[in-house]
A and B are shown apart, each in its own frame.
Chain A
């Protein structure tokens, strides 16, 4: 399968714990995006990378959130001191360069904070 993959698919954690999600984009894609979808809403933009550089972060991304893409390939999204409001579907997408309009999505990681 050469699509975007995300791990884990599901994560249940207790409030206050740290969690980390991983996204593997399509191999030749140099742009990588993170979105979050909460119940009843459409996906909301969190941040994106061009290769290893993080070019934009949404105001939704509080100080407890950090994203990295160290070698310009896979990316991780870490949430520290999770809160119940962090419960959501976290989606990753990738695209081929600045001129490509199409973003290809992974299946998401469903986070539940108890």
Chain B
């Protein structure tokens, strides 16, 4: 049974703070690690897909790292803004990458 764990479950930060979340996943039979941002009443938005150990990806103020040997990924947000408020989901895929196994998400609230 694959288990993807995310921490923290929720986070409240002030505007301008930097923050980070953790995703841990089984390191065997790894294919890809996905990060999504999901705002209420909208579609989950793909942030990053990472496949190689040591991968680092960046999109504006958001970046992510990947360690496939120990089975974890970090998502960083620099200078949080209220529009960053959302649930951040990570998902793991194995083998042919057909289906995603999601964590329960980290709910971020950025306050003014």
Contact residues of A: prevailing secondary structure: loop
A3 and B36 alpha carbons, distance in the complex (Å): 16
Instruction: Please encode chain A, from 33 to 53, with 1 for each CB lying within 8 Å of some chain B CB and 0 for all others.
Output: 101000011111100100000
Q: Of B13-21, B60-68, B78-86, B94-102, which stretch is located at the interface?
A: B94-102
If A42-B4, A101-B32 touch, whether A107 touches B102 (CB-CB below 8 Å) is no
The residue in A101, A104, A108 that gathers the most chain B C-beta atoms within 10 A of its C-beta is A101
Docked-complex contact A43 and B32, CB < 8 angstroms: no
Residue of A40, A98, A101, A102 near B104 (CB, 8 A) is A40
Check: B89 CB closer than 8 A to any chain A CB: yes
If A102-B49, A105-B43 touch, whether A42 touches B99 (CB-CB below 8 Å) is no
Residue of A45, A104, A108 near B101 (CB, 8 A) is A45
- Which residues of the other chain, A, contact B32 by a CB distance below 8 angstroms? 101
- The residue on A at minimum CB distance from B89 is A42
- The residue on B at minimum CB distance from A58 is B99
Q: Which residues does A use to contact B, with CB under 8 Å?
A: 3-4, 31, 33, 35, 40-45, 48, 55-56, 91, 98, 101-108
